[in-house]
Amino acid sequence: MYDVIVVGGGHAGCEASLACARLGKKTLLVTGNLNNIADMPCNPSIGGPAKGIVVREIDALGGEMARNTDKASLQMKKLNTKKGPAVWALRAQADKITYPKEMKKTLEHTDHLTLRESLVEDLLVEEDTIKGVMLEDGEKILAKAVILTTGTYLKASILVGSNKKQEGPHGEKASRFLSDKLKALGFRILRLKTGTPPRIERASIHFEETKLEEGSKDNLTFSYDSKTATATTLQIPCYLTYTNAKTHQIILDNLKKSSMYGGYVKGVGPRYCPSIEDKVVRFHDKERHQLFLEPESLFYDDIYVQGLSSSMPEDVQEQIVHSIKGLEDAKILKYAYAIEYDAIDAKQLKQSLETKLIKNLFTAGQINGTSGYEEAAGQGLIAGINASLKLDGKEPLILKRNEAYLGVLIDDLVTKGIKDPYRLLTSRAEYRLLLRDDNADLRLRDYGYQIGLVDEERYQRFCQKKKDIADVFEILKKERITPKEEVNAYLEEIGSTPLQAGLSLYELLKRPEMKMEHLLKLVKLPFDEAVLNEVEIEIKYEGYIRKAEQEAKKMLHLESMKISEDIDYEKIPNLASEARQKLQEVRPTSLGQASRISGVNPSDIAILSIYIKRGNYESN
Amino acid sequence: MEDTICAIATKLGVGAISIIRVSGRDAISKVNALFEGKNLEEVESHTIHYGWIKEKEEVLDEILVSVMRAPKTFTREDVVEINCHGGILATKSVLEALLRTGIRMAEPGEFTKRAFLNGRIDLAQAEAVMELIESKNDTAKRLALSALQGSTTNLVKDFREQIKQVIASIEVNIDYPEYEDIEQMTEEKLEKLLEDLQAKLEEIILQSKRKQQLKNGIETAIIGRPNVGKSSLLNHLLEEEKAIVTSIEGTTRDIVEGDVNLDGISLHILDTAGLRETEDVVEKMGVEKSKQILKKAQLVFFLLDGSKSLQEEDKKMFSSLEDEKTILVLNKKDQGIKIKKSDLPFSHVVVTTTKTKDGLDELKQEVKTMFQQDEIQENDAAILFNARQLALASQAQEKLKEAKCALEEGVELDMISLDLQEILETLGEITGENYQDEILDTLFANFCVGK
């Protein structure tokens, strides 16, 4: 008898099982192939806009992805640095051998965690409560909670042109029955599709024909606790090339041969990640499309061609690849493919990621309709935490939209549901100014510590940082700078108005042209860069940050107006018909959540709000 | 919206025919129960039928009945319209019979409310229906009709669409920073775009205010020294157009306030006290009060006795009059005009003889020119037409200014994008839209991104 069984060893499954085991739960991780734990079947990178911030959030809460990436990074970049701090984000090229290897090592060295190779084909359910799982050979394993992180493996089929195989990535066995069992339990099943580009042999590429794309030379790390990352010393570059008119012609000539355009695919593909066929068809006036050549590992020769996702048959893929500059003689090691898989309608989940239908059954990752390693890992962590909290009889951890991208992600999923695979984007976060790369620890580390995933040593380091930030604020507000000759000379040099009278350092830094680096030329502030950086952002963007906080406050007010579980929407007069139907489907827990359901308009919220208030009044 | 509702849709007791409208789930079956003729539950949708309304074997009226099934109806519910004989008794007897079947009397505006709640019209259109019912003149009616057809909705939609495009092109650079082929939004480009947006919104607000004036009636003041012909001008305007005048007995003198309809333009004559007396307004009311009136007025008729030379006091008044809203009326043409037009610092000057109505047509024409009546008739333009909509637009305008200032101060593009999203939300309130998912849709429709 286990406390928790985690089904699936991808990024969601790893975080979920680590969280449970670290919280003292006797945990079993069941996965189809132990050699594929934390596999990266698509792009060899982790992070990017919004996603990179999720990795930081995972770290702040005590998850593994950030630390593991720091052990396996080939190259690191800080993106969007010319834009405001709200959208800065880290991205690593990660080694596809090292990353899984390091993750597996961590799993194997974690107490209370057992790994087992098998496929789960049924769930044991009694009285709407999960009791365990049944393996493909019929063996039953009991547990108090189960977390499904099945990725793309539910009824997976791989498509290349008209060729369709019932299997998961790498030819792995797919789970054939589990999705039917879920359907029988009342889950609405969606068919989704995603795809991946071809891999080509490094030695066959004419790199001199492409543009070099190097990473950052700085010592960038994902984890707040890593001292360095492997990328700092490795500095492995990527390369950039483009499609051209010839490529596009080949694609158009062969369009009907692709799985998508030939009508072989039923699943809905992601909008943000179109295949090269889609790009050429939808944006036919575009002369070229960018392709990044990314190394997959130090230990083998595959180069990932980012931008060339396709479901064309192999011979057409050959033609496409060879039409591209630098790839004329390229040898394809692995053809691009589309993959179809089953997912559940995430509107059937609570904000804790527990299913509404079956008690103690949680789901995380691609089964919930997301795509991306980071989105999966984040959900896995939250599902692991909440399964453990539930077994301890505690309230779940539900991050709000103003607290974390993870909050935005989960709220979007359970409130709006999805039509195509969901990817996090900065534009999905209405309070993104509060959800920055620099402050994920300030937002979330207390939660991680309280739950028990952040140990004392890491927490003390964080407390020191918090104290330092407060100290720097204090100094800047208290200390004044006087119009001395050398001060004014420097100010003029950087294009700032000379001082007439004394000014606090805080006020000086408020000047639009003034930066922390300038201030450091005038005064000594012996603190960490991260600390100074944090203070600078808080001061420079104070107006915008306050405004975002005000907005968040309004949202939190709506959020605090709870909707009782047994509300009957049929009984509320004057609701628009569409709103009534959507509310019935999602059954939001608060007025705030209700307001985010598409098809529920402000007038419906007003009506609902009056109804709730009156209800409260009457019951009092 | 479970109930079925009914109401008399035409004015009670006026006209040969009255229409009773019934809407709701049971509209057809309940009317059918009273109807003698075809079985209305079986007739095709959007057809009209002849028959009788009968209650307990008593014939109440001979009627024509239209059956319209959901969803292609005004309320998106089943709708039945009964054309019965006009006259209070016949209509009321049919209505009462309907009410006895359990159909409920509609509240004011309830049909429109249902159309709104059932998603057939948006907030701006629902407001337009109300405006249409209440419109006092042709202009108001035309504007409301055009808004009902969606012109206001589209105006707001188009403008929001433009903002969305700007946001999307900033956002795409954030979420796909390395896609160099996508046009990069720059400070310079954004500044230009913000200027355009500002100018457009400014124009929308200006046009809307102007047309609102026409709709509500132009606040008009008639002023001038004693005995120049103010009261006869007023009388002519009133008599000719058979305007509604309310004459309220003041405590010490007559106060006149009234609406004058000039070929579709309403003038609302302000309480310029003592207008019917031959007293000097400025003297009687005090300088402060008259200044207030002049400030409030959107149109000022300033009358001078043209047969006499210009008086010092008149010249003093000139400075307190704004040229763009003043029509200078040189009266008493019949006695010979002694004042040269070139001595008058005004663009709009009309010569009249109020005694004989000479020059009155020219005066009306001048009013129309000033308020661009011609243009409005052609271009029944989309405007924001109530205070709520205008207030939201002005808020958006204010925020647009702030965003531009921030950009000039060097605030990054992604922050300006947040300002724009706020503006989008504000404008969305005009039609009652949420913006949440719109930006993403725009982004993916316009840009080619992704692995």
Encoded tokens for B37 = 């003729």
Average pLDDT, chain B: 79
| pLDDT (mean) for B312-334 | 83
- Chain B touched by A109 (CB under 8 Å): no
Residues A486 and A603 grouped into a single domain: no
Residues A500 and A594 grouped into a single domain: no
**Greatest mean pLDDT among A375-384, A544-553, B4-13:** A375-384
A357/B58: higher pLDDT:
A357
| pLDDT (mean) for A255-266 | 88
- Quick one: pLDDT band at residue B275, thresholds 50, 70, 90? very low
Contact state of A596 with B418 under an 8 Å Cβ cutoff:
no
Task: Say yes or no to pLDDT of B417 above 90.
Answer: yes
**A306 to chain B, minimum CA–CA distance in Å?**
5
Task: Specify burial of residue A566 (Cβ count, 10 A radius: 0-12, 13-18, 19+).
Answer: exposed
- Chain A touched by B117 (CB under 8 Å): yes
Contact state of A83 with B414 under an 8 Å Cβ cutoff:
yes
Cβ atoms of A161 and A312 within 8 Å: the answer is: yes
Domain boundary among A288, A307, A339: A339
Domain boundary among A518, A544, A570: A544
**A502 to chain B, minimum CA–CA distance in Å?**
23
Contact state of A602 with B449 under an 8 Å Cβ cutoff:
no
Encoded tokens for B56 = 């307990």
Residues A478 and A507 grouped into a single domain: yes
Name the amino acid, one letter, at A226.
Answer: S
- Chain B touched by A198 (CB under 8 Å): no
**B406 to chain A, minimum CA–CA distance in Å?**
10
Q: Among candidates A20, A38, A146, which has minimal Cα distance to A101?
A: A38
DSSP for A480-523? EE---HHHHHHHHHTT-PPPSS-EEHHHHHHSTT--HHHHHHHS
Residues of chain A in contact with residue B176, where contact means CB-CB under 8 angstroms, are: 49
Q: How far apart are CA A343 and CA A371, in angstroms?
A: 11
Q: What is the pLDDT of residue B439?
A: 58
- Quick one: pLDDT band at residue B136, thresholds 50, 70, 90? low
- Range name among A443-452, B132-141, B377-386, B424-433 with the lowest pLDDT average: B377-386
**A316 to chain B, minimum CA–CA distance in Å?**
19
CA distance readout (Å), B378 to A132, A254, B375: 74, 53, 5
Contact state of A83 with B413 under an 8 Å Cβ cutoff:
yes
Task: Say yes or no to pLDDT of A233 above 50.
Answer: yes
Q: How far apart are CA B57 and CA A341, in angstroms?
A: 67
Interface mutation vs chain B, best among A54, A83, A213, A273, most B CBs within 10 Å: A83
Residues B139-154: pLDDT tens digits?
Answer: 777 777 777 777 888 8
Task: Say yes or no to pLDDT of A619 above 60.
Answer: no
Contact state of B448 with A428 under an 8 Å Cβ cutoff:
no
- Chain B touched by A558 (CB under 8 Å): no
Residues A221 and A267 grouped into a single domain: yes
Q: How far apart are CA A31 and CA A149, in angstroms?
A: 10
User: Total domain count for chain A?
Assistant: 3
- Quick one: pLDDT band at residue A589, thresholds 50, 70, 90? very high
Q: What is the pLDDT of residue B381?
A: 60
Select the residue of A574, A598, A602 nearest B117 (Cβ to Cβ).
A574
Q: How far apart are CA B397 and CA B392, in angstroms?
A: 9
**B219 to chain A, minimum CA–CA distance in Å?**
35
Angle, helix B123-134 to helix B110-117, in steps of 10 degrees:
160
H helices of A216-365, in order, are: 230-234, 245-253, 276-282, 314-322
- Quick one: pLDDT band at residue B252, thresholds 50, 70, 90? very low
**A526 to chain B, minimum CA–CA distance in Å?**
28
Task: Say yes or no to pLDDT of B278 above 80.
Answer: no
Domain that holds residue A467: 455-544
Domain boundary among A339, A373, A401: A339
Select the residue of B175, B179, B449 nearest A426 (Cβ to Cβ).
B175
Specify the DSSP class assigned to residue A138.
Answer: S
Residues A221 and A329 grouped into a single domain: yes
Task: Say yes or no to pLDDT of B234 above 90.
Answer: no
- Chain A touched by B116 (CB under 8 Å): yes
Contact state of B448 with A598 under an 8 Å Cβ cutoff:
no
A260 contacts: CB under 8 Å, gap ≥ 6: A269, A275, A277, A278, A311, A338
Q: Among candidates A194, A139, A227, which has minimal Cα distance to A370?
A: A194
Looking at the domain assignment, is residue A376 inside a domain?
no
Looking at the domain assignment, is residue A332 inside a domain?
yes
Q: What is the pLDDT of residue B372?
A: 61
Residues of chain A in contact with residue B411, where contact means CB-CB under 8 angstroms, are: 84, 512, 544
Looking at the domain assignment, is residue A217 inside a domain?
yes
Contact state of A425 with B440 under an 8 Å Cβ cutoff:
yes
Name the amino acid, one letter, at A231.
Answer: A
Q: What is the pLDDT of residue B273?
A: 47
Residue recorded with tokens 């400070």? B187
Give the Cα-Cα-Cα angle A86, A90, A91 (nearest 5 degrees).
140
Chain A residue with minimum CA distance to B118: A576
Contact state of A82 with B412 under an 8 Å Cβ cutoff:
yes
Residues of chain A in contact with residue B432, where contact means CB-CB under 8 angstroms, are: 601-603
Beta-strand pair B265-269/B254-262:
antiparallel
Looking at the domain assignment, is residue A251 inside a domain?
yes
Residues A334 and A213 grouped into a single domain: yes
Q: What is the pLDDT of residue B177?
A: 87
Q: How far apart are CA B268 and CA B298, in angstroms?
A: 10
| pLDDT (mean) for A546-565 | 89
Residues of chain A in contact with residue B415, where contact means CB-CB under 8 angstroms, are: 84, 86, 433, 541, 544
- What chain B holds in terms of domains, given with CATH numbers, is 5-117 (3.30.1360.120), 151-211+384-446 (1.20.120.430), 215-373 (3.40.50.300)
- Chain B touched by A50 (CB under 8 Å): yes
Residues B97-134: pLDDT tens digits?
Answer: 999 898 998 877 778 877 877 777 777 787 777 777 76
Q: How far apart are CA B127 and CA B110, in angstroms?
A: 12
CATH of the domain at A519: 1.10.10.1800
Contact state of A272 with B439 under an 8 Å Cβ cutoff:
no
Residues A410-425: pLDDT tens digits?
Answer: 999 999 999 899 999 9
Per-residue b or e along A164-174, where b marks 16 or more CB atoms closer than 10 Å to that residue's CB: eeeebbeebeb
Contact state of A576 with B117 under an 8 Å Cβ cutoff:
yes
Q: How far apart are CA A321 and CA A200, in angstroms?
A: 9
Contact state of A573 with B1 under an 8 Å Cβ cutoff:
yes
| pLDDT (mean) for A214-221 | 94
Q: What is the pLDDT of residue B255?
A: 41
| pLDDT (mean) for A443-463 | 97
A539 contacts: CB under 8 Å, gap ≥ 6: A476, A506, A509, A510
Contact state of B414 with A42 under an 8 Å Cβ cutoff:
no
Specify the DSSP class assigned to residue B309.
Answer: P
Looking at the domain assignment, is residue A364 inside a domain?
no
For chain A positions 578-607, those within 8 Å of chain B (CB to CB) are 578, 596, 598, 601-603
Contact state of A575 with B117 under an 8 Å Cβ cutoff:
yes
A45 contacts: CB under 8 Å, gap ≥ 6: A91, A92, A93, A94, A294
CATH of the domain at A599: 1.10.150.570
SS3 state at A368: helix
CATH of the domain at A257: 2.40.30.260
pTM of the model: 0.81
Select the residue of B411, B413, B439 nearest A427 (Cβ to Cβ).
B439
Q: How far apart are CA A83 and CA A77, in angstroms?
A: 15
Q: Among candidates A223, A225, A221, which has minimal Cα distance to A233?
A: A221
- Chain A touched by B52 (CB under 8 Å): no
Cβ atoms of B274 and B284 within 8 Å: the answer is: yes
- Chain B touched by A512 (CB under 8 Å): yes
Chain B residue with minimum CA distance to A285: B448
Residues A258 and A224 grouped into a single domain: yes
- Chain B touched by A292 (CB under 8 Å): yes
Phi, psi of A308 (to 5 degrees): -120, 35
| pLDDT (mean) for B42-55 | 94
| pLDDT (mean) for A207-229 | 95
Residues A223 and A324 grouped into a single domain: yes
**B136 to chain A, minimum CA–CA distance in Å?**
29
A371 contacts: CB under 8 Å, gap ≥ 6: A194, A270, A273, A421, A422, A423
**B296 to chain A, minimum CA–CA distance in Å?**
36
| ipTM of the shown complex | 0.85
Residue recorded with tokens 């939004």? B185
How would you write A164-231 as a 3-class SS string? EECCCHHHCCCECCHHHHHHHCCCCEEEEEEEECCEEEHHHCCHHHCEEECCCCCCCCCCCCCCCCHH
Q: How much of chain A, in percent, has pLDDT values that exceed 90? A: 82
Q: What is the pLDDT of residue B258?
A: 65
Cβ atoms of A573 and A587 within 8 Å: the answer is: no
Contact state of B117 with A292 under an 8 Å Cβ cutoff:
no
Looking at the domain assignment, is residue A138 inside a domain?
no
| pLDDT (mean) for A319-334 | 96
- How many H helices and E strands in chain A? 21, 22
Other CB atoms closer than 10 Å to residue A389's CB: what's the count?
A: 17
Beta-strand pair A45-47/A89-94:
antiparallel
For chain A positions 471-490, those within 8 Å of chain B (CB to CB) are none
Task: Say yes or no to pLDDT of B169 above 70.
Answer: yes
**A287 to chain B, minimum CA–CA distance in Å?**
10
Chain A, chain B: beta-carbon pairs less than 8 Å apart: 115
Q: What is the pLDDT of residue B282?
A: 47
- Quick one: pLDDT band at residue B250, thresholds 50, 70, 90? very low
Cβ atoms of A430 and B418 within 8 Å: the answer is: no
**A179 to chain B, minimum CA–CA distance in Å?**
28
Sign of torsion over alpha carbons A205, A206, A210, A213: positive
- Chain A touched by B123 (CB under 8 Å): yes
SS3 state at A278: helix
Specify the DSSP class assigned to residue A538.
Answer: H
Residues of chain A in contact with residue B403, where contact means CB-CB under 8 angstroms, are: none
Looking at the domain assignment, is residue A355 inside a domain?
no
Beta-strand pair A211-213/A199-201:
unpaired
**A227 to chain B, minimum CA–CA distance in Å?**
27
Select the residue of A271, A428, A544 nearest B444 (Cβ to Cβ).
A271
Cβ atoms of A90 and A79 within 8 Å: the answer is: yes
Residues A213 and A319 grouped into a single domain: yes
Task: Say yes or no to pLDDT of A388 above 90.
Answer: yes
Looking at the domain assignment, is residue A149 inside a domain?
no
B101 contacts: CB under 8 Å, gap ≥ 6: B30, B33, B34
Name the amino acid, one letter, at A568.
Answer: D
Residues A278 and A209 grouped into a single domain: yes
Residues A211 and A311 grouped into a single domain: yes
Average pLDDT, chain A: 93
Residues A528 and A608 grouped into a single domain: no
